[in-house]
Chain A
Amino acid sequence: MGMENEKLSFVTAGLPVIDCDLHNRIPPLEMLYPYLPDYWCDHCEESGFFGPDANDYPEGAPTSTRPEIMEPSEDRPQSDLALLREHALDPWGIEYGVLTCAYRVQSVHNEDLAAALASAVNDWQIEHWLDPEPRLRGSLIVPSQNPELAAKEIERLGDHPGFVQVMLPVRSQAPYGNRRYHPIYTAAGRHDLVIGIHYGGAPGLPPTSVGWPSTYLEEYVGMSQVFQAQVLSLVSEGVFDLFPSLRVALIEAGFTWMPSLMWRFDKEWRGLRHLTPWVKRLPSAYIREHMRMTLQPIDGPPTAEQLLQIIGQLDSDDFLMFSTDYPHWHFDSPEEAFPAKLPTSLACKILSENAREFYRL
């Protein structure tokens, strides 16, 4: 099932590629013990605590794990990093890959433990991923349920050259425009880090505006509505006027819903802006200036032509950033992974230039 280099070069035609959504596997708690203070190791041992839980990616679900990973193979590399190299970095010729570790410390309501786990997973990422593989960049895991503690973690590691963003799961206890999060944005700004809002999360609240859905399919599809809530919040609270250099990546959100949201949001603003007078421009202008979205999963229409139409309706060539979302399974052949019919200039922007500028790579 491994992808063939020839096919890939056909798709990208030797163009530089930056992958903005690569998942490093969530480490079992014991792997973090070397990075956790003794107190918390004892605490976890005594409690029989196995680490943060989340429903984000059931391991057996096809959307979570590409088939080539599920298939047992004798000559398969043993380490996760070696797998990532073999399946993603090498075949795609990836110049930089941004790791988005889905470690949900937000589900741990003991905020000190959450903060300790975040620090541990970040130190683990440095040692096991960023130091040994110079093509990789990392996302800082932070206890975002306590923005003061989150800011401390950003200050601790924000200058490490391996980290390019702060990761916030899209599901949250309060939307990210809320002023309680300002310490996170202040700290991220100080270190010129992107805020990466990523699929999933486990804040202990339902993932929809009408309660808990029954199936994973519903939660998975419905995650785009949570992104919509975050976009409305960030713009409506005036975050981008308060933090003019703030950059927000919407990762693994799908993107074909974004034009419809911008149309509605702009109209809402025309009718209701007297209630939020600090929002000075059309919402879509803030969105296009301050936000970017990653490519996969492409929640696209049935035909390639329709996909080009919806990409056109974003009304910005700067907006999309390439991602494979490895090891999640969204496409079989590389042709499916990238809308191949794009004009070359736009293809270059999506494949690497937009991310290079946004992440300062």
Chain B
Amino acid sequence: MKSTREKVPVIDTDIHNNLPSPESLHPYLSERWRKHQAMIGGRGHAGSNYPRGMPHAARHDAWPPSGLSPGADLAFMQEQLLDAWDFEYGVLNPLMGGSGLNLEYVAAIARAINDWQVEEWTTPEPRLKASIVVPYEDGELAAEEIHRRGEDPNFVQALLIARTDEPLGRRKYWKMYEAATQYDLPIGIHFGGTGAGPITGAGAPSYYIEDHGGMPQAFQTQVISLVCEGVFERFPTLKFVLIEGGFAWFPPLMWRLDQSWKKLKEEVPDLKKLPSEYMKEHFWLSSQPVEEPPKREYFDLLLEQLNARERLMFATDYPHWDFDAPDRAFPTSLAPDVKRRIMADNARELYKL
């Protein structure tokens, strides 16, 4: 079997690049914000600590020999990830800079991170494409950054973090969506964040397994909100990528939303069709972390219910501890055409690579 296996192209839709140090942004920040960074720094919704069991939530072998932190050393990322697995492309999702209490500062940091990504990542390594970090808690500031980078081929999407201050369908975010549609840029919603309140609708849990295992709750809320607020009627070409949120919850949410909408649709007259129709049309999902049912046939059924052939995109989540390797990510053997689409074609089409 092994000798006849076809080589399938791979695009990794979730790679995390990191700053070598906070000072790495200095060349990209004005004097005012350099001073602010030194004096105050980023202030967020503190008080939501869930220690993650390993520094930087990283694979133990992802610490570069250079002494930099995981994801901060391009040469080592090339060696350990891009070359080792022969990736066609990789999408960078820097997990920093998009949120905070001082929105002007957040906007300055987001600009700096984007400039740093072009200079130090996508220019020296053309296999890498970047996500536009945006100050997403302010729709207008986020739109400004999208306008600044929307036509730049180094970038393939705008990036938000799943636990926002408010559900993403609310009006304060609409300017950002308007800008994204102008450039036909998908919006990636990535695992993480603390939001403005407890990280669940039942208050603050105690452990990292609840934080990490509970992240689909935030993703589900965002999908519900975006659909019910009529965002896709207002922005019919808007596309979202749900990154590292899992995907097994997606079909049951379609069913639940449809059932409930049938009874309550008078409350949301902007919706012109079944909620699941919007979900099928406007959302893509990254694969990692893959839910693993106890039986293979459950997983096969899930892929079918999800329309995985068209909507699932492979991701490693490098350099994090729950890394998925391309040859071992799925608990079932995918049909060859489905595999090609999930491993690369879907991402190539969506991101126009």
Contact = CB atoms under 8 A, between A and B. Distances in A.
B164 A210 contact: yes
Given A171-B202, A211-B167, A217 B214 contact: no
B267 A225 contact: no
B153 interface: no
A22 interface: no
B291 interface: yes
B229 A209 contact: no
B255 interface: yes
Interface stretch (B24-32, B218-226, B337-345): B218-226
A217 B221 contact: no
Given A63-B263, A236-B210, A310-B252, A205 B164 contact: no
B116 interface: no
Interface string A302-335: 1000000110010100000000000001100000
B256 A171 contact: no
A260 B248 contact: yes
B209 A216 contact: no
Contacts of B60: none
A173 to B, nearest CB: 5
Interface string A216-248: 111011111110111011001100000000000
A212 B267 CA distance: 17
B37 interface: no
Interface residues of A, number: 73
Most chain B CB neighbours (cut-off 10 Å) among A178, A205, A208, A226: A208
Interface in B187-245: 195-210, 212-214, 216-218, 220-222, 224-225, 228-229
Contacts of B164: 210-211
Contacts of B40: none
A237 B206 contact: yes
B225 A229 contact: no
Given A175-B203, A214-B229, A300-B255, A263 B291 contact: yes
Contacts of A216: 264, 267
B336 interface: no
A31 interface: no
A139 B209 CA distance: 31
Contacts of B168: 210
A211 B214 contact: no
B289 A208 contact: no
Interface residues of B, number: 68
B268 interface: yes
A209 B200 contact: yes
A143 to B, nearest CB: 16
A83 interface: no
A187 B65 CA distance: 56
B259 A298 contact: yes
Contacts of A261: 216, 249
A154 B135 CA distance: 49
Given A209-B195, A218-B167, A265-B213, A225 B221 contact: yes
B200 A229 contact: yes
Given A221-B257, A271-B322, A301-B251, A226 B200 contact: yes
A176 interface: yes
Interface stretch (A1-9, A42-50, A272-280, A341-349): A272-280
Given A217-B264, A220-B264, A263 B202 contact: no
A254 B196 CA distance: 27
Contacts of A274: 53
B208 A271 contact: no
A297 interface: yes
A225 B301 contact: no
A264 B168 CA distance: 24
A273 B322 CA distance: 13
A259 interface: yes
Contacts of B195: 209-211
A299 B201 contact: no
Most chain B CB neighbours (cut-off 10 Å) among A223, A256, A276: A256
A206 interface: yes
A323 to B, nearest CB: 15
Contact of B225 (A170, A213, A236): A213
B214 to A, nearest CB: 5
B167 A229 contact: no
A19 to B, nearest CB: 20
B263 A62 contact: yes
A211 B214 CA distance: 15
B248 A228 contact: no
Contacts of B294: 263, 266, 284, 315
A257 interface: yes
A162 interface: no
A214 B221 contact: no
Contact of A264 (B203, B216, B222, B263): B216
A203 interface: yes
Contacts of A315: 294
Contacts of A294: none
A330 B264 CA distance: 11
B292 A267 contact: yes
Contacts of B216: 225, 228, 260-261, 264
Nearest to A263: B291
A269 interface: yes
A276 B224 CA distance: 31
A276 B166 CA distance: 31
29 contacts: A172-B202, A174-B204, A177-B205, A206-B198, A208-B201, A209-B195, A210-B163, A214-B228, A216-B267, A225-B221, A228-B216, A228-B217, A229-B202, A236-B206, A236-B207, A236-B213, A237-B206, A257-B252, A259-B252, A259-B293, A268-B209, A272-B53, A272-B209, A272-B212, A275-B209, A276-B209, A299-B255, A299-B256, A300-B255
